[in-house]
A and B are shown apart, each in its own frame.
Chain A
Amino acid sequence: MNRTELIQGNEACALAAVAAGCRFFGGYPITPSTGIAEQMVRLLPDAGGVFVQMEDEIASMAAVIGASLAGSKAMTATSGPGFSLMQEHIGYAVMAEVPCVIVNVMRGGPSTGRPTAPSQGDVMQARWGTHGDHPAVVLAPSSVGEVYELTVRAFNLAERFRTPVIVLYDEIIGHTRESVVLPGSVDVVDRIKPDVEPEQFWPKAPAANGVPPMPAFGDGYRFHVTGLTHDQRGFPTEDSALTGALMTRLNNKVDDHVDEIVQVERFMLDDADVAIFAYGIVGRSAREAVQRARTMGIKAGMIRPLTLWPFPDVQVAAVAEQVDAMIVAEMNLGQLIGEVQRASGGRTEIVGHLRADGEPITPSQLLTELTDRNEAAR
């Protein structure tokens, strides 16, 4: 049965993880993500799961990978410096194709920065933080309710594509209590297990969708796990053809399913001649600014990606084709604005509304941006 509760984004994240089947949390507490760990401590033992506080974030990510290989749905949560420490093992999870979920509750950086202040400074790190060419799936909720939905989705995508999925939101969404309707049950996707005899099993032989079936340690299938470039038997190779094939397959798991993975919200765009591109908490400000601007006769709209990576190229291009200007509002010094420019291909004017002083971008600020532009255009 659905129920309405007043909870923080971090609580919603933990509740969603358990609903999606997460039974392992390995982490190291760090503000502003600590609320997730606190909830998982309470929830996991009753759900038959395991919570381990590791010695640091490097070990946390390693524990998550181990738990997933042993057949458990596993996650960690962190912020700022902790996310930096996790990058190497996130790459390992990409290479070894270990499904897992990493939540990064963004705070002010670089370094220890502003632990209690909101930021959107990690959106490029979420894409390119780990080395080498690799796919990335990054989801960006803008409300407590959406934290719940997208955390469930993160587990489902991780299981379906055997890849780490990152949930990215900021301190405000993490800490604000919001009334949210929690569903009685959620749709859950589980990793596909092999259906061949153990003697015939090749751990990295892909099924038709490019994803190899995945047994758990202990299921009776013997397999080798490595971060080295490997062949379909799972053992290291220096063969260039096999290297190329692996790189292509890893990346195509995501690239071939962009339509399935990417979600955007289009708000009042149908007749808009100016659009705000915003994500996460800024999407909430943008939505309100657009509504207020409309009452003043300004034809404004909003495009809000729920999926930051893969980037919604097609959806952004369609908006760029239509509007005279797109205002990119983000709580950093300009990170996704470069992607918007690339996807727009010069079809519209791109304006940045950027803020990295530890304060949120408010509806009033975006409304002023819209009204000033409207005045100037007259």
Chain B
Amino acid sequence: MSRNEIRIAGAGGQGVVTAGRILAEAAILCGRAATHSQAYGPQARGGASRSDVVIDTEAIGFPLADEVDLLVILNSDAYLRYQPELGERGHLIIDGDCAPEHLSRHLCDSNVTKYPVVEKARLLSGGQLVAGIVALGVVQAFANVVDTEALREAVATGVPARHKELNLKALEAGMQLVGGVRA
């Protein structure tokens, strides 16, 4: 693996910024270089939220996402806003509830996968706060970008102690949505 760009986008309150930060921390635990950036603006409360992670085996050049390899979308606003920026060979993971009936023309079924991420988060916590961590589980099972054990460790240390068990459960649930991490 060389450079890998992952973007998680959704609404404020879905935990996408925390999820991105944790993924970057996990990459560092695996000895990789990582950067994390987030949409920063007046929309930080309530509106759209976005988290970009760049992971590389070597030192990272441009620290922001330039051609997204894996785009995770957790609400329909984020879909409209970010799907045009998906790289040519990029893959879209989209929450089942917000997937539009007709995908944009440049997307075809082979590079789009739907998972019930937000629904799973609701089942686990009664709200959407762990949606980002469920999404992280999906990302890990789908793309295997970091060591799973490192990701568990980063989740355990990256969330408030009282929410540790819930978030670890959310991570496992996300991985199970894909059918577990590929060997």
B42 x A363 contact (CB < 8 A): no
* Residues 1 to 42 of chain B near chain A (Cβ within 8 Å): 21, 24-25, 27-28, 32-38, 40-42
Interface-lining segment among B55-63, B70-78, B145-153: B55-63
Enumerate A56-72 residues with CB–CB distance to B below 8 Å. Answer: none
Total CB contacts across the A-B interface at under 8 A: 60
In the bound complex, CA of A142 to CA of B130 (Å)? 34
Q: Which B-chain residue is minimally distant from A116 (CB atoms)?
A: B41
Cβ A178 vs Cβ B64 within 8 A: no
Please tell me if the beta carbons of B66 and A176 are within 8 angstroms of each other in the complex: no
A142 — nearest CB in chain B belongs to which residue?
B63
Q: State which of A128-136, A221-229, A284-292, A322-330 sits at the interface with chain B.
A: A284-292
Closest-by-CB residue of A relative to B21 is A177
Q: Return B35 CB to nearest CB of chain A, in Å.
A: 5
> Contact at A360–B64, with CB atoms within 8 Å?
yes
Interface residues of A in 170-189 (CB under 8 A from B): 171-172, 175-179
Task: Flag if A179 contacts B61 (CB, 8 Å).
Answer: no
A:1-39 near B, CB below 8 Å: 4, 6, 32
Bound-state Cα–Cα, A179 to B61, Å: 12
Instruction: Tell whether B67 is near chain A: CB-to-CB under 8 Å.
Output: yes
Q: Is A143 an interface residue (CB 8 A)?
A: yes
Whether A284 pairs with B25 at a CB distance below 8 angstroms is no
Residues of B with C-beta under 8 A to A143: 63
Contact of B61 among A6, A176, A177, A363 (CB under 8 A): A363
Contacts of B61 in A (CB 8 A): 284-285, 287-288, 291, 363
Check: A374 CB closer than 8 A to any chain B CB. no
Q: Are A176 and B28 in contact (CB under 8 A)?
A: no
CB distance from A29 to the nearest CB of B (A): 15
- From residue B17, how far is it (CB to closest CB) to chain A in Å? 10
Residues of A close to B34: CB separation below 8 A? 6, 178-179
Chain A positions within 8 Å of B42 at CB level: 116
CB of A248 within 8 A of chain B?
Answer: no
> In the bound complex, how far is the Cα of B141 from the Cα of A319, in angstroms?
49
Q: Across the interface, do B62 and A288 meet the contact criterion of CB distance under 8 Å?
A: yes
Q: Is the CB of A177 within 8 A of B24?
A: yes
Question: Are A172 and B33 within 8 A (Cβ)?
Answer: no
Count of A interface residues, CB-CB < 8 Å: 22
Q: Establish whether residues A4 and B62, one from each chain, have CB atoms under 8 Å apart when the complex forms.
A: no
Q: Is A368 an interface residue when CB atoms closer than 8 A count as contact?
A: no
Decide: A6 and B62 in contact? CB cutoff 8 A.
Answer: no
Say yes or no for A237: interface residue by CB 8 A criterion: no
User: A6-B28, A116-B42, A364-B67 known; A176 and B35 CB under 8 Å?
Assistant: yes
Pick from A6, A285, A291, A363: contact of B24, CB below 8 A.
Answer: A6
Q: Is the CB of A178 within 8 A of B35?
A: yes
- Decide: A364 near B40, CB < 8 A? Known: A176-B35, A179-B24, A288-B61: no
With known contacts A176-B35, A177-B36, A6–B21 Cβ distance under 8 A = yes
* Alpha-carbon distance between A298 and B66 when the two chains are bound, in angstroms: 21
A177-B37, A179-B33, A179-B34 known; A172 vs B63 contact (CB < 8 Å):
yes
Among B44-94, those with CB < 8 Å from A are 60-64, 66-67
Give the contacting residue for B63; candidates A4, A176, A364; CB below 8 A: A176
The complex places the Cα of A179 from the Cα of B34 at a distance, in Å, of: 6
CB interface residues, A 348-369, toward B, < 8 Å:
360, 362-364
Given known A-B contacts A6-B28, A6-B34, A175 and B40 have beta carbons under 8 A apart: yes
Listed by A's residue number, 12 A-B pairs whose Cβ atoms lie within 8 Å are A6-B25, A6-B36, A116-B41, A116-B42, A171-B40, A172-B37, A176-B64, A177-B35, A179-B24, A179-B32, A362-B62, A364-B67
A4-B28, A360-B64 given; name 15 further pairs at CB < 8 Å.
Answer: A6-B28, A6-B34, A6-B36, A176-B63, A176-B64, A177-B24, A177-B36, A177-B37, A178-B35, A178-B36, A178-B60, A178-B63, A179-B24, A362-B64, A364-B67
A residues with CB within 8 A of B: 4, 6, 32, 116, 143, 171-172, 175-179, 281, 284-285, 287-288, 291, 360, 362-364
Closest 3 CB pairs between A and B? A288-B61, A177-B36, A176-B37
